[in-house]
Amino acid sequence: MPHVVRHTDTGAFLAAAQPVLARSEAAAAAFAAWTHGLALRPPPGGAPCYLATYAHDGRYGAAMRRPPDGPLVFEDSDPDAAAAFAADLAADVPRLAGVVGALPACEAFARVWRERTGRTHVLKFHLRHHRLTEVAPVPPAPGAARVAVAADADWLVETQHAFLRDVGVADNPERIVAAMPERIARGEYRIWDDGGPVAFAGWSDGGHDAARIAPVYTVPSARGRGYATALVAALARALLAAGRRRLFLVTDVANPTSNAIYARIGFRPESDIYHFDLVDPAR
């Protein structure tokens, strides 16, 4: 497509994506966190990521995808841009797993994708970005938060795999194992201890003075005791005290428990996005 530009440099990509990222601070933080992680740990074997932007006649787009099986994320891109990304990517990745973005853009992508590949789309998640600038008081929970250390790596890997199974999101197990020691060394995980670890929360750099909190997980046997609320509140306070001014996270709109937890801490809805799986049509 003549108006799609593929990038190999994350800095150039983010600069070209600014017309889209300026529409949502949450989306900007998501793109910054994703590209920051990509710079720290490139895909194995030098596999290329899809980093693309679109600009034509006042319409803009920005899309990113990590190989081998990540969805294509284009957040608040315009529908024309999403359609152009579909046309640009169909020949390269006809078995693309899914797309994540604003609803009109997802639908525009899906129309072109069906024309080019014969595959259709089904809704997986209705997601919501949330933003926090001040932590509200929350009820105390037994135990205390602490920064994860190297000895926690095996437990964190195991529970992160459990988290992904619970939410139905695929990820590369080897990538999680390889990245965990580095993330722990950078102080990117907090654990809630109550006679042993019962919950964890991660965070990542969202660019400038922002951060994104994810993932958050409580082991099934310890749920309903306020651990996740207390842990995320403690992590948010620590990030704000360290100079972050804006914190973001994403929830599944269909999960009332997590939405209530984050609202109690002080997170407020900012914008909605949708995750569609791309599938073969039913016979």
- Tell me the average pLDDT across 240-259: 95
Same domain, 47 and 100: yes
Same domain, 24 and 140: no
| Range(s) of the domain holding residue 149 | 135-265
CA–CA gap between residue 154 and residue 183 (Å, rounded)? 13
3-state secondary structure of 267: coil
Q: Is the pLDDT of residue 283 over 70?
A: no
Domain count, the chain: 2
- Tell me the average pLDDT across 203-213: 93
Same domain, 83 and 112: yes
Q: To the nearest whole number, what is the mean pLDDT of the chain? A: 94
Same domain, 261 and 139: yes
For a pLDDT cut of 70, what percent of the chain falls above it? 98
Q: Is the pLDDT of residue 196 over 70?
A: yes
Confidence class for position 169, pLDDT limits 50, 70, 90: confident
Same domain, 258 and 143: yes
- Tell me the average pLDDT across 274-283: 90
- Tell me the average pLDDT across 58-62: 97
The number of C-alpha atoms within 13 Å of 242 and in the hemisphere containing its C-beta is: 14
The answer to whether residues 76 and 93 touch, using CB atoms and an 8 Å cutoff, is no
Beta-carbon contacts of 32 under 8 Å, excluding residues fewer than 6 positions away, are 14, 205, 206, 207, 208, 210
Q: Which region among 100-109, 229-238, 251-260 has the lowest average model confidence (pLDDT)?
A: 251-260
Same domain, 97 and 215: no
Same domain, 56 and 106: yes
3-state secondary structure of 52: strand
* pLDDT, tens digit, 9 for 90 and up, residues 94-111: 999 999 999 999 999 999
Q: Is the pLDDT of residue 46 over 90?
A: no
Confidence class for position 38, pLDDT limits 50, 70, 90: confident
What is the model's pLDDT at position 1?
56
Same domain, 75 and 165: no
Q: Is the pLDDT of residue 41 over 90?
A: no
Same domain, 83 and 160: no
- Tell me the average pLDDT across 111-119: 97
Confidence class for position 279, pLDDT limits 50, 70, 90: very high
What is the model's pLDDT at position 36?
87
What is the model's pLDDT at position 48?
82
Same domain, 144 and 117: no
Same domain, 70 and 149: no
Q: Is the pLDDT of residue 212 over 60?
A: yes
CA–CA gap between residue 131 and residue 109 (Å, rounded)? 27
CA–CA gap between residue 105 and residue 35 (Å, rounded)? 21
